[in-house]
Structure formats: C-alpha cells, structure tokens
Amino acid sequence: MSVLIYAENAAGKFKKSTFEAVSYAKAIADQAGTNLIAISIGNVAADDLAALGKYGAEKVLNVSNDKLKNFVNQAYASVIAEAAKAKGADIVVLSNSFSGRGLAPRIGVKLHAGVADGAVALPVLDGGKFTVKKTAFSGKAFATVELTSANKVIALTPNSYKVVESSAAGQVEDFTVETKESDFKAMIKDIVRSTDKVSLPDAEIVVSAGRGLKGPENWGMVEELAGLLGAATACSKPVSDAGWRPHSEHVGQTGIAVSPNLYIAIGISGAIQHLAGVSSSKVIVVINKDAEAPFFKVADYGIVGDAFEVLPKLIDAVKAY
C-alpha cells in the first residue's frame, strides 16, 4: 500500500500548487503509515524531480515520452492509473487544477475509485470511515464526503494546504507505460504563453474588476495595482463578453475558479455566478459605490466609494508602503 501523487508541471517546471499537493499527500501517507511516491509526466529536469523529495516524496517516477510532452487528458489518466496499479497505490492525490479537474474522474473510473475533487482539508480517518471535506456547488458550499471504495482519488484545491518541507531528496526512477492510440484522439501540439503576467489560477493575490469600471480604457489602474502587489488580473463575465478583457481572465461559475489569499473586487456587484468562482478566497476586499451591492455580504473588508477615486489613492498608498 502507498500513496501516489501526480506532480503536475507547467512547461517543465513544478508549480506551487504541486508542492502543496505533494505536502498534502505526504501528510495522508503519514496518517496511513505508508510511503509516498510521486509521478511526473513530461520533460522535467532531474534536479527538479529529485527536489520533490523535499516535500515528502520518497520515490519519483519519471515518465518522459515525446507523445506525453503536452497534457493529454485521457493518456495522462491512463499513465497515472497504471502507475497506481504497478506500485500498489490505493490513494491517488493530485491538484484540483484545470488539468486535475479533468484527470480526477478519469483516474477514478480506471481504478474503480471514489473521487473527492476540490478537497480543502486532510481526510479524517475515524472508525474505519474515510471522509474528506471538499467544496461543492461551484465553491458555494462545503461537503464532507465519505469514500467507501478501496481505491481513492483526492484532488486538492490549490492554496488550501501549506507547503511543508522536509529534508531528503527523492529517488528518481524512470517509469515506462505502453500508451494506447485511442488515448490520443485529441492532442495539444504546442502551448504558447501569451503573457508573462502572474498566472490567474495560481495567483496568491488577484485584482479583479467588473462593469463598474465603465470601459477597457480604465484598466490601467487595475493593472498598475496588480503590478505593485505582484497580483494576477481578473474580471467578471460581462467584461470579457464585451471584449474589454480576454476570456482567460473571466472568473466565476462559467470561468476560472480562484482561491487566492487576497481577492480585490472592484466595481463588481457580486452576483452568485461570480461568487461561485471566488468564494474560497482567504480574504476578500470589495470596492463598490453601492453600499447595497451583494458582494459586501461575503467581504472581509469593504470600501463604499467610487473606484475612480478609491483606486488612485490605493495605488499611492501601496507605492508609499
């Protein structure tokens, strides 16, 4: 018995959410009194693979295969499930990232495993029961689910578990899996980053704005504040629908779900569909000129005021800090 963690990389580099997931998986392995094995797919440097040991992975399986260079949902799920079978892992952990959300149910089917996606806390093992707290209804609520199957898949919400470093390096081992043609019906040929800005799903701080900003010409203030805070920029759906901002910035039920340490919402009403993607943020700051805006109900801090007056003052204050 062991725990297998899928260590996701972006362009060959592990992300912070991967280290969180490895630390989380290590804690599960410790709870179960077993060891932790990591699996990496794609071209990651040997030193980076071994460095996963710092977060608790005793062994790191390296699957380096040209066909698997870019993420392919079905094929990656097959590789991870085969590794779990080969290594006798009955718990598979991964990050509930964009790719993790696609992988978790597929791995679950292949391993006949119960799936807890969007986990936000360590499982509780009590009297033979294995329960996991997770987000439900697009982040609007939490549910505690019991996984009764022998095999289990848990996808951890980014930014909900701390990165914990221990000292040892992991032992890297090449792992080969026969891939099936049927797993490659749709493939990503190339990934080109369109920006050097902070990636929205991984951002620790997000500065987000809505229709209250009136038009795309006013986003300079949002970008300046985000730049000063090292934050990613985001927006409400109508803003991206109108073409004021790219669709990749749209957060909410039909967009990206974020869970940063700080979410600053400027001129966004706080419709339930928007909150669905941001409500697991640790601290929410709302700036809105309407004191009755629904967003204030979920805000930790609120500023009732005109964004065109508040934002320049906020930018000056951050610059002076």
Is residue 208 near ligand FAD by the rule CB under 6 A? no
Q: Which is nearer to ligand FAD, 165 or 290 (CB)?
A: 290
- Which of these ranges, 5-13, 107-115, 127-135, 272-280, lies near ligand FAD under the rule CB under 6 A? 272-280
| 178: Cβ contacts below 8 Å, ≥ 6 apart | none
Among 32, 122, 163, 271, binds ligand FAD (CB under 6 A): 271
Is residue 237 near ligand FAD by the rule CB under 6 A? yes
Is residue 139 near ligand FAD by the rule CB under 6 A? no
Q: Positive or negative CA dihedral for 64, 70, 73, 74?
A: negative
Instruction: Report in angstroms how near the CB of residue 202 gets to ligand FAD at its nearest.
Output: 19
How many other C-beta atoms lie within 10 A of the C-beta of residue 169? Answer: 15
Is residue 258 near ligand FAD by the rule CB under 6 A? no
Q: How far apart are CA 224 and CA 233, in angstroms?
A: 10
Among 56, 210, 260, 302, binds ligand FAD (CB under 6 A): 210
Burial of 209: CB neighbours in 10 Å, binned 0-12, 13-18, 19+: buried
Contact 26, 109 (CB under 8 A): no
Is residue 56 near ligand FAD by the rule CB under 6 A? no
Is residue 255 near ligand FAD by the rule CB under 6 A? yes
Looking only at the bridges linking them, the beta strands covering 124-126 and 129-136 are antiparallel
Is residue 274 near ligand FAD by the rule CB under 6 A? yes
Is residue 140 near ligand FAD by the rule CB under 6 A? no
| 85: Cβ contacts below 8 Å, ≥ 6 apart | 111
Is residue 102 near ligand FAD by the rule CB under 6 A? no
Q: Give SS3 for 79.
A: helix
Q: How far apart are CA 111 and CA 222, in angstroms?
A: 45
Q: Which is nearer to ligand FAD, 40 or 288 (CB)?
A: 288
Given strand 232-235, what is the order of strands in its sheet?
A: 232-235, 205-209, 262-266, 283-288, 301-304
Q: What are phi and psi of 116, to 5 degrees?
A: -115, 100
Q: Which is nearer to ligand FAD, 63 or 314 (CB)?
A: 314
User: What's the token pair of residue 176?
Assistant: 């080969």
Instruction: Report in angstroms how near the CB of residue 291 gets to ligand FAD at its nearest.
Output: 9
Q: Which is nearer to ligand FAD, 27 or 268 (CB)?
A: 268
Instruction: Report in angstroms how near the CB of residue 8 gets to ligand FAD at its nearest.
Output: 24
Among 306, 313, 317, 319, binds ligand FAD (CB under 6 A): 306
Is residue 142 near ligand FAD by the rule CB under 6 A? no
Measure the CA dihedral 6/7/12/13, to 10°.
Answer: 160
Q: Give SS3 for 150.
A: coil
- Give residues in contact with ligand FAD (CB under 6 A): 210-212, 236-239, 252-255, 267-269, 271, 273-274, 277, 287-290, 293, 306-308
Binding residues: 211, 267-274, 288
Binding residues for FAD: 211, 267-274, 288
